[in-house]
């Protein structure tokens, strides 16, 4: 492992070696789960580059940032996420290098917020988290304050496939035009689009969600879909999820325990569906349940542990 080479950081570590080692020892005795083998790499790959960026911006702020990063390292490397998702967590902290002035305003808060967001997105999709982190590099560099950064981060997560965030992003008009352009580029996104699953004139988009739990899916047995309180659910009697789908992605969001009575036992007639949706339903001889809602068709079959979603279907 390559050693730390930035002299101001070396001096800080040398001058505070006793207190830092005591802090590490106390924390490790308390948690008992600290991954000490990962500490040298974390220092070199996370703490040093962020420290350099802030120190070169303003040396008087670098100690404050170091203290936040050191505490964050102890917390992260003692957590289950730190043991299993260390690379993506390192990448999210390197976002701090793109705007040292913003980083120095509240390094502990920023590090926590970025870490939580990254983990939540990665639980749905590692590829979506990686895409989000790439987009966040530009956003972090351009953000003028933490509030604008957080607003842009939510819109960016939606843009990267987190369909459940569409109704939680807030007003598009509150987003700085420069950040809006970074997220949506040449797309003509309007405030009205936040209320619609699909863009006008969009093609039908099929996607499969779920799969067998034994193959890293969600369901122990073929699920059923149903509509309750304007939300579409999928459930197999043991696991239940709300399905979110729109122009940017589709996902299953864990739902609290639901009543067995809500899970459909009989198949409703496909004649009740709009013509275009009915044509799709006719392709599945072992169809077990379906819902048409928000210009989207959700269906399940007896032979699959997945939920099939078809978007942009007009009535």
∠ Cα 135 121 155 (to 5°): 50
Q: What is the enclosing helix (H) or strand (E) of 244?
A: strand 240-246
57 in a structural domain:
yes
Tens digits of per-residue pLDDT, 32-58? Answer: 688 888 899 999 999 999 999 999 999
> Span 166-185, mean pLDDT?
92
Q: How confident is the model at residue 215 (pLDDT cuts 50, 70, 90)?
A: low
Q: At what angle do helices 62-76 and 17-31 cross, to 10 degrees?
A: 30
75 in a structural domain:
yes
User: What pLDDT does 27 receive?
Assistant: 84
Strands 306-311 and 205-210: antiparallel
Is the same domain home to 97 and 186?
yes
Q: How confident is the model at residue 206 (pLDDT cuts 50, 70, 90)?
A: confident
Total number of domains constituting the chain: 2
Tens digits of per-residue pLDDT, 66-79? Answer: 999 999 999 999 88
251 in a structural domain:
yes
**75 is written with which tokens?**
């917390």
- Tokens 């569906």: give the residue: 273
- Domain span including residue 298: 205-311
How far apart are the C-alpha atoms of 291 and 150, rounded to whole Å? 34
Which range, of 33-37, 93-97, 275-279, 289-293, averages the lowest pLDDT?
33-37
Largest interatomic CA distance in the chain: 77
C-alpha distances (whole Å) from 145 to each of 2, 56, 105, 142 are: 34, 20, 9, 9
Choosing from 144, 176, 195, the residue where a domain stops is 195
Tell whether the model's pLDDT for residue 1 goes beyond 60. Answer: no
User: What pLDDT does 205 receive?
Assistant: 76
Choosing from 195, 220, 252, the residue where a domain stops is 195
Is the same domain home to 27 and 105?
yes
200 in a structural domain:
no
User: What pLDDT does 32 receive?
Assistant: 64
**184 is written with which tokens?**
């949506």
**274 is written with which tokens?**
């709009």
User: What pLDDT does 226 receive?
Assistant: 97
């Amino acid at each position: 492992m390559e050693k730390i080479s930035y002299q101001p950081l070396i001096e800080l570590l040398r001058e505070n070696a006793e207190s830092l080692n005591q802090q590490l020892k106390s924390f490790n005795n308390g948690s008992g789960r600290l991954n000490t083998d990962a500490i040298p790499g974390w220092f070199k790959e996370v703490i040093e580059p962020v420290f350099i960026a802030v120190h070169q911006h303003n040396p008087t702020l670098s100690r404050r940032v170091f203290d936040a990063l050191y505490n964050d390292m102890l917390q992260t490397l003692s957590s289950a996420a730190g043991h299993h998702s260390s690379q993506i967590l390192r990448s999210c902290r390197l976002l701090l290098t793109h705007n040292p002035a913003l980083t120095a305003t509240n390094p502990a808060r920023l590090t926590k917020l970025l870490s939580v967001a990254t983990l939540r997105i990665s639980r749905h999709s590692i590829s979506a988290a990686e895409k989000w982190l790439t987009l966040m590099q530009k956003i972090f560099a351009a953000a003028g304050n933490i509030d604008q950064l957080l607003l842009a981060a939510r819109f960016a997560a939606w843009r990267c496939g987190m369909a459940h965030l569409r109704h939680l992003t807030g007003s598009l008009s509150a987003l700085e035009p420069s950040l809006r352009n970074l997220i949506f580029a040449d797309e003509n996104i309007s405030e009205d689009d936040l209320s619609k699953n699909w863009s006008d004139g969009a093609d039908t988009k099929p996607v499969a969600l779920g799969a067998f739990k034994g193959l890293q899916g969600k369901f122990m047995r073929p699920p059923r879909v149903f509509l309750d309180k304007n939300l579409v659910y999928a459930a197999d009697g043991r696991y239940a999820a709300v399905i979110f789908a729109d122009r940017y992605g589709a996902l299953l969001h864990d739902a609290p325990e639901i009543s067995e009575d809500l899970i459909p036992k009989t198949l409703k007639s496909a004649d009740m569906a709009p013509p275009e949706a009915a044509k799709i339903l006719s392709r599945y001889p072992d169809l077990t349940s379906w819902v048409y809602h928000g210009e989207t068709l959700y269906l399940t079959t007896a032979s699959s542990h997945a939920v099939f979603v078809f978007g942009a279907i007009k009535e």
